[in-house]
Amino acid sequence: SQPHPDEGHPPPLEAVPVPRKSVGPCRSHRESPGGLAESPGGEEAQGEEGPAAARLDVLRLRSSSMEIREKGSEFLKDELHKAQKELKLKDEECERLSKVREQLERELEELTASLFEEAHKMVREANMKQAASEKQLKEARGKIDMLQAEVTALKTLVLTSTPASPNRELHPQLLSPSKAGPRKGHLRHKSTSSTLCPAVCPAAGHTLTPDKEGKEVDTTLFAEFQAWRESPTLDKTCPFLERVYREDVGPCLDFTMQELSALVRAAVEDNTLTIEPVATQAPPTVKVAAVECGSTNTCALSGLARACRHRIRLGDSESHYYISPSSRARITAVCNFFTYIRYIQQGLVRQEAEPMFWEITRLRKEMSLAKLGFFPQEA
């Protein structure tokens, strides 16, 4: 009988048939084991050839089983070799995938770190901007409060200081050199605008009341003032200011020194002119940093030999020019006029048209008197 193949192993190869000398008896012996009893004559032949045939069969079986084992071992070795190759390839693939995974994890960590850093940077910048904005807002609020306080103070001062009755604390040029008290000769009479002369103004459409001095309003001038008062401006081309410039401001500031006169007029229009009293004696330790043009005995505007008790400074210049009392009175009269019309333009003068017109007329009168050489005597 042939050996059965074990489970899990490849099927055995078929044995190669080998020619036999006495096939018949063997087959009959295998097919019918009971034939020995039926043919006693064949027992002798079987007894002679049986051991040799059995030996031959055993050898054949051994050779076939060895061949099967050799082929099976070769097949198993081939399969093992293939499995080892596949396992090696899989190990290499696993190693490559592991490297890819490590690289991806590293890149992910770097990306996460960069994102967090960028987020922290943006938050830090936002906090800095917010702090700066809050600081600017706080400063702006402080400036607004300060400006509101200044506006309130200016309104209060305007109510107590007008060109007719100026507040000497607000106008240092009105103080004496020794600052002992207000000047006696520079006081102005209060405006008598409450009693106006009787006249009918066609342009305004109402009647003007008279005063004790018998003044009479010029309807043309009043109409020009009314037109200017509706939209007050400092433009010299409007009819009202053009007339005042031509009749009062220009002649009042027309001095002998034409070049300096033009500079003084521009400074008065820009509100950058400063009039300072000349100190009688300066301490020896004080050093004068400004450049003083002329002397205290010569007026820089008229060029005449006069005792100059005041000096002017134009804008931010450090140069000072000595002026005579007459020149100072002319400049002061023009400055008072410009101060009043600036108050009107800014809405700080809350009066009717008539009192405002008569105040402007009084200021024009002062300019006319000053340009003619009339000025109050100083103490």
Residues 6+ apart with CB under 8 A from 195: 209, 210, 211, 212
Q: How do residues 323-355 score in pLDDT, each as one tens digit?
A: 999 999 999 999 999 999 998 888 888 888 888
The three-class DSSP label of residue 11 is coil
Q: How do residues 215-248 score in pLDDT, each as one tens digit?
A: 788 889 999 999 999 989 888 889 999 999 999 9
More confident residue, 213 or 110: 110
d(CA 57, CA 78): 31
The DSSP letter of residue 172 is G
- Sequential DSSP letters for 200-268: EETTTTEEEPP-TT-----HHHHHHHHHHHHS----TTSHHHHHHIIIIIHHHT--SSHHHHHHHHHHH
- Cα atoms in the Cβ-side hemisphere of radius 13 Å centred on 193: 16
Residues 6+ apart with CB under 8 A from 334: 248, 249, 252, 253, 268, 367
Find out whether 190 and 164 touch, Cβ atoms under 8 Å: yes
Please report, as a single letter, which amino acid is at residue 319. Answer: S
Q: How do residues 23-74 score in pLDDT, each as one tens digit?
A: 444 444 444 444 444 444 555 555 556 778 788 888 888 888 888 888 888 8
d(CA 24, CA 3): 24
Sign of the torsion formed by the C-alpha atoms of 224, 227, 233 and 239: negative
Tokens of 93: 């693939």
Lowest-confidence segment of 184-188, 287-291, 360-364 by average pLDDT: 184-188
Q: How do residues 121-137 score in pLDDT, each as one tens digit?
A: 999 999 999 999 998 99
Percent over 90 (pLDDT), the chain: 33
The DSSP letter of residue 372 is T
Sign of the torsion formed by the C-alpha atoms of 327, 329, 335 and 338: negative
More confident residue, 199 or 275: 275
CB burial of 143-179 (b: ≥16 within 10 Å; e: otherwise) equals: eeeeeeeeeeeeeeebeebbbbebebeebebbbbeee
Judged against a pLDDT cut of 70, whether residue 164 lies above it is answered with no
Q: How do residues 138-157 score in pLDDT, each as one tens digit?
A: 888 888 887 887 787 777 76
d(CA 16, CA 219): 153
Please choose, from the candidates 34, 26, 77, the residue with its C-alpha nearest in 3D space to the C-alpha of residue 54: 26
Find out whether 224 and 340 touch, Cβ atoms under 8 Å: no
Residues 6+ apart with CB under 8 A from 196: 208, 209, 210, 211, 215, 217, 354, 358
Q: How do residues 203-216 score in pLDDT, each as one tens digit?
A: 344 444 445 567 78
Find out whether 262 and 274 touch, Cβ atoms under 8 Å: no
Judged against a pLDDT cut of 60, whether residue 170 lies above it is answered with no
The β-bridge partners of 199 are: 208
Judged against a pLDDT cut of 70, whether residue 162 lies above it is answered with no
d(CA 175, CA 147): 28
Tokens of 82: 């293939």
* pTM, rounded to two decimals: 0.46
- Sequential DSSP letters for 90-118: HHHHHHHHHHHHHHHHHHHHHHHHHHHHH
